[in-house]
Structure formats: structure tokens, C-alpha cells
Structure 1
Amino acid sequence: MEKITTFVDFTKVDLRVGTIIEVNDFDEARKPAFQLKIDFGALGIKKTSAQITTRYQKEALINRQIVAVVNFPKKQIANFMSECLLLGAVDGKDVILLNPERKIKNGTVVS
């Protein structure tokens, strides 16, 4: 079944560019994941977890810009509180992170 949304619904989703500033293993997660801290400029630093361990090494994620949803409610994942949702394309079991084509100011709105 086709999923339909309205433009008004879409405008409620706050998509922003941020830079990953810290990456840690998330041993308590049910599936392999990292805990990330992301700098969203004026919005501050937000935490999230991501199941991206098969494609990305921790060192390669540092200073990488990404796109995330920043206005979902916080979500408890094991002993960790996630504050945003990274966006990525799912390719089988891999997640390929979405990112801007070139460096841009943290916190920039994606529309």
C-alpha cells in the first residue's frame, strides 16, 4: 500500500545538518551500535545511537556531517537516551548515512 503524507505533515519534521563529534561503542544495545554525540550548532549537542557498525569505523565518523531529525521525542534505548534520529538509506543490512554534498553550517535546516 502506498504511504501518502501531506506537505503540512512534512513541514512538522525538523531535519538538520550536524557534525558527529564523539563516537562510542554501545555494548548494551541488542544489535551492534554506536553511541554518537552530534553538534547541531545553535540547537546544541544531541545524542543518538545508530546501528551503523558494519559499514562505518568510529574514527571515520568523527567530524562527518550528517542529516538527522531533531524534533522527535527522546527515546530510551537500553541505558541510553536518544535525542535525535540519523537519516540513512537502507541497503540490505547496511545503512548508508545521508550527508550534505559539501561542508555546511551545523544546524542548517534541510527542506
Structure 2
Amino acid sequence: MKNAITYADFEKIDVRVGTIIKVNDFPEARKPAYQLHIDFGPEIGILKSSAQITKRYLKEELLGKQIVAVVNFPAKQIGKFRSQCLVLGAVGEEGNVVLLNTDFKVENGTCIA
């Protein structure tokens, strides 16, 4: 377990549901990754993220998939790509990532509490 945080710390993290609307290969990345474009609804809009999920997911499987992401981290420059949110997933053996998602379709931008 990591260091304990306060509830006030947790409240600072903005975790939302979004739908992947575009997936590109990211050959410039040091580790195999995709460039994702994710729709978080009208309040937040479309954000981009780099995700190391190529071992488990094909690009075609990701289109239209709802995921969970942190949307209020500062943007991170990865080569020529600017990652604007952090897609959340469970990291399994050998670094295989399983994306976190909802059981049922919800509105893009829905808060995770």
C-alpha cells in the first residue's frame, strides 16, 4: 500500500468517464502505446492521452469504449504528443493493462466518486 492521503487530497482528483473516439499508433513512444482521443462531454470536451495498452487491446476494440481517467493532472509532453489526461487501468503480469470502465453506458463526463 502507498502512503495514506486525506479525504481532502482525494477530493482534488477529478476522475471522469469518457468515450474513446479516435486511436492512433504511437511509434515514437519508448514503450508500445496508442494515442487516444477521448470525449468527456460538453463541459470538458475531447482530451488526448498516451496509453500503453497495445498488449491487450487492438485499435478497433477501443473505438467507442468508455473508460475512466483523471482529467485534472497537468498535461505531459511525450515526444511530439501532448497527453492531457491519465487513463486508468489495472496493471497485471508483464505490464498488461486492463482498462477501468463502467458496467453500463453513462454520460461522457460523469464524475467518479
- Normalization by structure 1: what TM-score? 0.98
Structure 2 distance, partners of 1:64, 1:14, is 20
Higher strand proportion: 1
Identity of aligned residues (%): 62
**TM, length-normalised to structure 2:** 0.96
Q: Distance in 1 between matches of 2:3 and 2:72?
A: 21
Instruction: Report the CA distance between 1:78 and its aligned residue.
Output: 1.0
Report the number of matched residues: 111
What is the DSSP-based 3-state SS (H/G/I as helix, E as strand, rest coil) of the residue aligned with 1:109?
coil
The amino acid of 2:49's aligned partner reads T
Q: Paired residue for 1:86?
A: 87
Q: Distance in 1 between matches of 2:2 and 2:72?
A: 25
Runs of 4+ in 1 over 4 A off after TM superposition: none
Task: Write the deviation string for residues 5-31 of structure 1: whole angstroms up to 9, x where unpaired.
Answer: 100000000000000000000000000
What is the CA RMSD across the aligned residues, in angstroms?
A: 0.9
- Which amino acid is 1:65 matched to? Q
Question: Matches of 2:62 and 2:38 in 1, distance apart?
Answer: 11
- Are 1:73 and 2:91 counterparts? no
Aligned to 2:91, the other structure's residue is in SS state: strand
Ranges in structure 1 where 5+ consecutive residues have no aligned partner: none
Query: Which secondary structure state, in structure 1, belongs to the residue aligned with residue 90 of structure 2?
Result: strand
Please give the secondary structure, in 1, of the residue aligned with 2:28. coil
